[in-house]
Amino acid sequence: MYINKINFRRISLCILGLIQISLIISYYYVQKGDETGVNDDKIRFLSSKNYEKPFEQTYHTSKDKVNLPRHHVRDKFTDFNSSLCFTNGTDLKSMDRSKNSWNCDCKIGWHGAECGQPEVVWRALLTNKQKLKVKGPMKYSRRMLYIFQVNEFMENIIDIRINELDEVIDLFILFENNGNRIEKLLKNGFLKKYHKKIIYIRNTLLKDLYNTIASSISSLENNDIIVISTSMEIPNKLALGFLKYYDNWPEPISFRLRWSVFGFFWKHPNKTKTEGIACSVKYMKKVFDSNFVNLYESKSNLGLVLGDLNHYGGWYCEYCMDPIQIIKFAKERNLELVKWKELKKNQIDVSYVEDLIGNGLYIDGKTELERSRKYQDNYFAPTSVSDNSMKYDFLLMNLYTKLDYYEG
């Protein structure tokens, strides 16, 4: 009896072993069949995607056709009863609390029936000699093109401009006539995030530039706006925003800018510099004959200047580059204000320029600059610069000061 139990147990174990071996063999053949069948299709599918060159959005050139979309202004305004209020300029919490309010409640620094006029625009309209009645907001916001000259010395300013103004500019046009430094940077991914909004134009005369741009844009309209810069200016984005949503402002417009030197920590004693021009496409064609040379020759006949000593129309950041670039820039431009012959050649080096920056002396080595303090000056620097202090520390803090304590 005991022997029969042992034999039964052995037989049971053998059967279980055979079953396990059968399952293992079956699983092996099933997997092998998958590899030659279904999985083979998957490999071909993945490999085809891997070898397919992905589409990469890049910057445009004058050979491309760019279509500018239109945007309804209601994206920027909020309805309160019968009032249409500019969202960024309105105290929305106050408006929500006063349910029966029929007037827009403006934040400090904003004016107008819809709270759509930033302080810098309101002050300019208030002091303008002409009697003006600005119309708006318009049904659709005007598209805005920002055209500016670029070169190897303007990498910092280009970066700041585009990061600062991306919210209000529909298309950035960069034109480069001396070298191709910025073109190389763009090809290597400079400002990659904004490439879809950039047109790069090279070796085009200023008198032909407008027609070159117009031929590249398939949807340009007469009430769209052109802003052009040929220097180191950064327009006030709040002022530009107003121009997009309102009509009947006097043309052309220029910007009185806060004059910074070497960085935003120094101000030139002249305080401001008037640079940059904005006008409608219609005005550009009718008055300036589609020629930017005519526009600059008529710069004295301005319809409106945005900015004053307390509320600037933007920033003019002169020599906002490293000391090596400053030396090269000054020599290439043969600046008259730099009396190179009066200085010994061995003085014109990086150390000399660092001393100018550290001690607050202008590039002429004589004019004393005024210190600007980050936490006391409302217009110390553009918002995109102040909010990215790690990236732009060399423009926010005087790294060459010899003082033991530097008050920012």
Residue-wise pLDDT tens digits, 48-68: 333 344 446 589 998 999 999
Mean pLDDT of 203-219: 91
Among the ranges 49-58, 79-88, 178-187, which has the highest mean pLDDT value?
178-187
Higher pLDDT: 407 or 128? It is 128
Q: What is the pLDDT of residue 35?
A: 41
Q: 119 pLDDT exceeds 50?
A: yes
Burial of residue 288 (number of CB atoms within 10 Å: 0-12, 13-18, 19+)? buried
Tokens, residue 157: 């300013």
Q: pTM higher than 0.95, yes or no?
A: no
Residue-wise pLDDT tens digits, 302-333: 889 999 988 999 999 999 999 999 988 887 76
Lowest mean pLDDT among 137-151, 181-195, 265-279, 340-354: 340-354
**Distance between CA atoms of residues 394 and 264, nearest Å:** 9
**In the chain, which segments carry CATH 3.90.550?**
144-318
Per DSSP, the chain holds a count of helices (H) and strands (E) of 14, 15
Q: What is the pLDDT of residue 343?
A: 58
**Distance between CA atoms of residues 232 and 320, nearest Å:** 9
- Go through 304-329 and write b for each residue having 16 or more CB atoms within 10 A of its CB, e for each that does not: bbbbbeebbbbbbbbbbbbbebbbeb
Mean pLDDT of 374-402: 91
Residue-wise pLDDT tens digits, 3-42: 444 454 555 556 655 666 665 555 555 444 444 443 443 3
Query: DSSP class of residue 196?
Result: G
Query: Beta strands 314-318 and 253-261: pairing type?
Result: parallel
Q: Does CATH number 3.90.550 belong to domain 144-318?
A: yes
Query: DSSP class of residue 141?
Result: P
Q: What is the pLDDT of residue 129?
A: 72
Residue 145 contacts residue 313 (beta carbons within 8 Å): no
Residue-wise pLDDT tens digits, 212-244: 999 999 889 999 999 998 889 999 999 999 999
**DSSP E strand boundaries for 237-291:** 253-261, 263-280
DSSP for 101-126, please give it: --S--BPTTEESTTS-EEHHHHHHHH
Q: What is the pLDDT of residue 349?
A: 82
